Amino acid sequence: MCRLATLDDLDTLCELDEVVFGGPEHSHVDRTGRRQFRYQLTKAHAEVYLAELDGDVVGFATVLMREGSTVLRGYSIAIASNARNMGLATEFFAWAERRWIELGFDRASFEVHANNPGAQRLYSRMGYVITEQMPDYFDPEDDGVRMVKRLVSG
């Protein structure tokens, strides 16, 4: 099940953020943090989505929406390791993309670590294509790629 997050979900979001992005293999820029989540949930032009499995939150996604733009920008996506390879990300994206179309967006754009081929394969399977190489995007020596999809209703 997928749903919009609320301020009541703040502790859960922070816990999952730490579990998924807290290891030494992740850059400090991967973690969102409590203050940023609170801002995204209350003041930002953003939405935070949750994925639930058997009543437990196992994933989240945060997207940024610039006023007047029809391009939505993915900010952060996390799926707990025990919920991977179960089709949850595909379901999560299908739900979110329907919502983005309803909100008037015609494209979605995500920045992905260049050294994360698993994430790039996932996005590619869902119709996202690399449109830009971004040297030193996340940190020095930590390149990124921009992946974009045209959203179509149907």
Q: What pTM value is reported for the model? A: 0.86
- The answer to whether 59 touches 79, Cβ cutoff 8 Å, is yes
Range ranked top by mean pLDDT from 20-34, 53-67, 73-87: 53-67
How many angstroms separate the CA atoms of 4 and 35, rounded?
A: 18
How many angstroms separate the CA atoms of 144 and 49, rounded?
A: 23
Of 101, 116, 98, nearest to 27 (Cα)?
116
Q: Span 2-150: which CATH code?
A: 3.40.630.30
Q: Is the pLDDT assigned to residue 9 strictly greater than 90?
A: yes
Q: Residue 89 — very low, low, confident or very high, per pLDDT cuts 50/70/90?
A: confident
Handedness of CA 77, 27, 144, 71 (dihedral sign): positive
**Rounded average pLDDT over 110-130:** 93
Residue 97: CB atoms within 10 Å: 19
